Amino acid sequence: MSARVNRPLPLLVRRALRPLLRAAFFVRGFRVEGAERLPRQRRRLIVVANHAAWIDSLYFIAAIRPRFTVCGAKPGYFATAPRRALMATLNILPVRDHQTFIADCVALLAANEITLIYPEMGRNPEGIGEFRTWAAEVALASGAAILPCYIHGTTRGHAGPARLIVGREIEPSGDAAMLTERLFISVTFLGGDGRSGARP
């Protein structure tokens, strides 16, 4: 697993591209709500969010300063050399099967790496789909806190510029099904219409 992510040269390219992404997104109106709750250094943390478009991961790269690993993408995305180079630059871990995914993510967290997991385990352009239990399983196996987020602006029908809305950390507890339900409620609440109320 370690040979597939956190490679020095792709990470250097990613670090060089980050200011350009931030500038380009800022011009387009991208903003972060709750930026003070984003991690400021590498630590054992799972970031979860809805996932409507490929650009979502770029918004996270622009918003989160420390390096993190996106967990993950289907092996088909690594089929050609240009794709593998892109995946390495974005620091995306391939998802081969359920058990390997859990083991790889737990190993990353044990090394104090931030992981970004989209609990839908795939893109859903129409809105938030069903969350699978994989992110919750990783949290329960590792003991890592979970930071729910919501990306507004990439789902079809969203109006206005993209925004990353950051919630408050959740400590893992219960079983995988219960924790998955908590994550689903937290992420969907962040994306709700009640913009004036307190967020989880």
Distance of alpha carbon 177 from alpha carbon 132, whole angstroms? 9
Mean pLDDT of 61-77: 94
* CA separation, residue 150 to residues 64, 95, 98, 146, 199 (Å): 14, 22, 24, 13, 11
196 falls within a domain: no
30 falls within a domain: yes
pLDDT score for 1? 56
165 falls within a domain: yes
pLDDT score for 3? 56
My answer on whether omega of the bond before 72 falls inside 30° of 0, hence cis, is: yes
- Asked if residue 189 lies in contact with residue 199, where contact means CB atoms within 8 angstroms, the answer is yes
137 falls within a domain: yes
Residue 81 has pLDDT above 70, yes or no: yes
Task: Provide CB contacts within 8 A for 177, sequence distance 6+.
Answer: 133, 136
Mean pLDDT of 33-44: 97
- 192: how many CB neighbours lie within 10 A of its CB? 11
199 falls within a domain: no
Distance of alpha carbon 76 from alpha carbon 84, whole angstroms? 10
200 falls within a domain: no
- Asked if residue 68 lies in contact with residue 47, where contact means CB atoms within 8 angstroms, the answer is yes
Question: Residue 4's pLDDT band (boundaries 50, 70, 90)?
Answer: confident
Beta partners for 145?
Answer: 45
The total domain count for the chain is 1
52 falls within a domain: yes
Question: Hunting for tokens 């609990």 — which residue is that?
Answer: 119
Q: What confidence tens digit (pLDDT) does each residue in 131-177 have?
A: 999 999 999 999 999 999 999 999 998 988 999 999 999 999 999 99
| CATH code: domain of residue 117 | 3.40.1130.10
The whole model's pTM is what? 0.93
| Domain boundaries, position 27 | 8-190
Write b or e for each residue in 130-163: b if 16 or more Cβ atoms lie within 10 A of its Cβ, otherwise e.
ebbbbbbbbbbbbebbbbbbbbbbbbeeeeeebb
Instruction: Indicate the residue type of 12.
Output: L
131 falls within a domain: yes
